[in-house]
Structure 1
Amino acid sequence: MGKLLYDSSGGGESFQTPPPNGHWRDPQVTSVDSNEVVDVVDQVTWENVSGLQDQQRRHLQRIHQKGVLWKHPDGESSPAAAKSVVFRLSHGGDVDPDGNCLFTASKKAMRSEIDARELRRRTVKRFLDDLGSLSSLEREGAHDTIKHMYSPDLRSGWGIHVIQEIKLLARKEDREDLDAAINKLLNLGMQREMAAEAIYKDRCIAVDDGSSWAKYMSISGSPDDEYDIISLQYTEEGLLTVDENREGHAAAFGDDIAIECLATEFKREIFVVRRHWSLSSFLFSLFFPYAHLLGILTF
């Protein structure tokens, strides 16, 4: 289950000697607790948060104790923006571990009246608006990034991956026709997964450019969605599984593109604290230079 981190609005303070890495302040210099820090939620210590491994808990306690030093990106050129602020991330509650977790966590962290589906819709709209303003070369780069994420070339890229996944979009109104086509291949003696792979790849939409990404990221697992998500998983030996998502409940997980668009739309910075799959460490990713912070922790 994901853990939601709220932002803590710390008092602004100038730092004459920022730490070398620009992220954490040295506790020997000044403790975060010595600053005026106002938490927007009741304090819940990380010792009392369930579902964490010991090493994860220690990292989070360290982050909470030291805080995160935020420096305005225009600080050197603008005296008004020269101050740095320390933010302390606090546990703000759990979020369901489904494809909507980015948007439900964002709603909760911002205390927004906007529901998660509307946040998803506005994220997609922001993406399309920004995509339309790019040059043709930049737009091609965006398409290539999306294709690499959701329609990878299975002839390469196996250096660190055991499994690669291809995402396809099936119109809900076409599901009966797709099933009929699969059954025809079954009657010819083809195995179920091979038949499903052939039909879905031939008749469904691949997520491989900006337009198809917008369709994909609009899917919240609701009966009102236009499309269902089909997932094909592969190993180097070939097809592993076909997730046909028969009930249509699968939602598109918010990726780095969605995070950036969400941050831009609401003029916020988003910290994503991830547990690295091999190093068991926590990493910060900062998106967009705005003064309000929203913290989301995912595992």
Structure 2
Amino acid sequence: MGKLICDSTTSSPVIPWKDPTAAPPSIDTIAAVDLSEEMLGATTTTWDDVSGLEDQQKRHLQRLHAKGVLWKHPGNKILNQCQEDDSTSPAAVVFRLSHGGDVEADGNCLFTASQKAMGLTEINAKDLRRRTVRRFLEDLGSESGVQRENIDAAIKHMYVPDLRSGWGIHVVQEVKFLAKKTDRESLDSAIEELVNLGMQRELGAESIYKDRCIGVENGENWAKYMSISGSPDDEYDIITLQYTEEGLLSVDENREGHAAAFGDDIAIESLATEFKREIYVVQAHGSDAMVDEDNCVFFLPHRPRSEICGPPFFLFMKGTGWCGAGGDHYEPLIAHSSSVVSHSHEKVALVL
């Protein structure tokens, strides 16, 4: 599962990337490339066979697959930081996007999908999660005080929101806490004491968890949270309190310890920074979003905090509603690439 945020100081803007050192290419002068089926080596799923898509989404995605999307390399100043000679690198690349297959909806899908999208064989999803958290902490340590405050505020807004507001957008809001696995017995005993005093168990659990557990409300605690993969060797369990405008709705105590931290925009940006590559989340909306076919698929760019040293990779998300925030699921996209061939009458479907 994954979380995309629509209003965060740390999230990447929903705008196409443009090279600041050069004029943008004209759609009329961009050539299509020969991306015939014989050139596609990876095993992929055709868009007709991907579940959960409406016809308008399939038509738009099939067009992206048939014509491809164009990505331009960053300026030479950036590339020269990464490699000694970029003279052999093409000026632009066309990517033909295919669905890379389903991944398990176990909370680790951002990292599993990224592993497949990058074609990594020596690194598993758990390794990617660890590297993402480590990268975030290293970058956090170099931030100024003001920027750290902004990061903390964005994290708190996502995971420990102010329950006095936000009800015009969300019917249910969640508050995340971290309970040490070794503290489970003492937490249960404290909850039982309140129950014996006549308190309802959910209200007692809410009180104890809020008092004794760690709220995901700053960068350091976000790193503890994002390290949780739902495995027995996790240090913490995730506790989720759900609220409606009327008050406490439910307490998910996650007693089996299987809940994993969903990947969010902060994690995607840290993952992009770790690999020095842009990550595009390709989001497809259906009729629930009340959008027309031309606008039912869009690209959300997440850029490294420093240099860009390689081509982007792509993830797929079936959005829900107009925003797509919340528990959505990441799936891999396989990007088959080819350099731009000049003097063709064909055009790409999109310029990133």
Secondary structure of the corresponding residue to residue 258 of structure 1: helix
- Choose from 134, 138, 143 the match for 2:143: 134
Question: Paired residue for 2:171?
Answer: 162
The reply to whether residue 90 of structure 1 matches residue 91 of structure 2 is no
Question: Take 1:143 and 1:279, find their aligned partners in 2: how far apart are those partners?
Answer: 34
Question: Take 1:96 and 1:63, find their aligned partners in 2: how far apart are those partners?
Answer: 25
CA-CA distance at 1:160 after TM superposition: 1.2
Question: Paired residue for 1:11?
Answer: none
Question: Paired residue for 1:291?
Answer: 310
Question: Paired residue for 1:105?
Answer: 113
CA-CA distance at 1:54 after TM superposition: 2.5
Per-residue CA distance 1:244-263 (angstroms, 9 max, x = gap): 11100000011101111111
CA-CA distance at 1:197 after TM superposition: 0.7
Question: Take 1:222 and 1:34, find their aligned partners in 2: how far apart are those partners?
Answer: 41
Per-residue CA distance 1:11-44 (angstroms, 9 max, x = gap): xxxx98734xxxxx56x96445479995351353
Query: How many residues end up aligned between the 2 structures?
Result: 281
Question: Paired residue for 1:214?
Answer: 223
Secondary structure of the corresponding residue to residue 205 of structure 2: helix
Question: Paired residue for 1:72?
Answer: 73
User: Bigger CA drift: 43-52 or 74-83?
Assistant: 74-83
Paired residues of 1:75 and 1:82 also in contact (CA < 8 A): no
CA-CA distance at 1:83 after TM superposition: 2.1
Per-residue CA distance 1:132-174 (angstroms, 9 max, x = gap): 1111111111111111110111111222111111110000011
Secondary structure of the corresponding residue to residue 95 of structure 1: coil
Q: 1:129 to 1:236 in 2, by over 3 A?
A: same
Paired residues of 1:163 and 1:235 also in contact (CA < 8 A): yes
Question: Paired residue for 1:243?
Answer: 252
Q: 1:193 to 1:267 in 2, by over 3 A?
A: same
Question: Paired residue for 2:273?
Answer: 264
Per-residue CA distance 1:97-155 (angstroms, 9 max, x = gap): 12100111112222221111111001000000000111111111111111111011111
Q: 1:221 to 1:160 in 2, by over 3 A?
A: same
Question: Take 1:117 and 1:72, find their aligned partners in 2: how far apart are those partners?
Answer: 30
Question: Take 1:251 and 1:105, find their aligned partners in 2: how far apart are those partners?
Answer: 15
Q: 5+ residue gaps in structure 1?
A: 3-14, 20-24
Question: Take 1:272 and 1:158, find their aligned partners in 2: how far apart are those partners?
Answer: 27
Q: Which amino acid aligns with 1:282?
A: V
Q: Which amino acid aligns with 1:18?
A: P
Q: 1:43 to 1:243 in 2, by over 3 A?
A: closer
CA-CA distance at 1:207 after TM superposition: 0.2
Identity, % of aligned positions? 64
Question: Take 1:191 and 1:139, find their aligned partners in 2: how far apart are those partners?
Answer: 39
Q: 1:37 to 1:258 in 2, by over 3 A?
A: farther
Structure 1 vs Structure 2 CA RMSD: 2.8
Q: 1:241 to 1:273 in 2, by over 3 A?
A: same
Question: Paired residue for 1:9?
Answer: none
User: Bigger CA drift: 186-195 or 42-51?
Assistant: 42-51
Whose strand proportion is higher, 1 or 2?
A: 1
Q: Bigger relative contact order, structure 1 or 2, given CA contacts below 8 A and separation 6+?
A: 2
Matches within 5 A, 1:221-232: 221-232=230-241
User: Bigger CA drift: 274-283 or 224-233?
Assistant: 274-283
CA-CA distance at 1:46 after TM superposition: 1.2
TM-score by length of 2: 0.72
Q: 1:126 to 1:142 in 2, by over 3 A?
A: same
Question: Take 1:107 and 1:208, find their aligned partners in 2: how far apart are those partners?
Answer: 28
CA-CA distance at 1:70 after TM superposition: 1.1
Question: Take 1:106 and 1:77, find their aligned partners in 2: how far apart are those partners?
Answer: 24
Question: Take 1:114 and 1:284, find their aligned partners in 2: how far apart are those partners?
Answer: 26
Question: Take 1:166 and 1:51, find their aligned partners in 2: how far apart are those partners?
Answer: 29
Q: 1:67 to 1:75 in 2, by over 3 A?
A: farther
TM-score by length of 1: 0.84
Question: Take 1:111 and 1:212, find their aligned partners in 2: how far apart are those partners?
Answer: 31
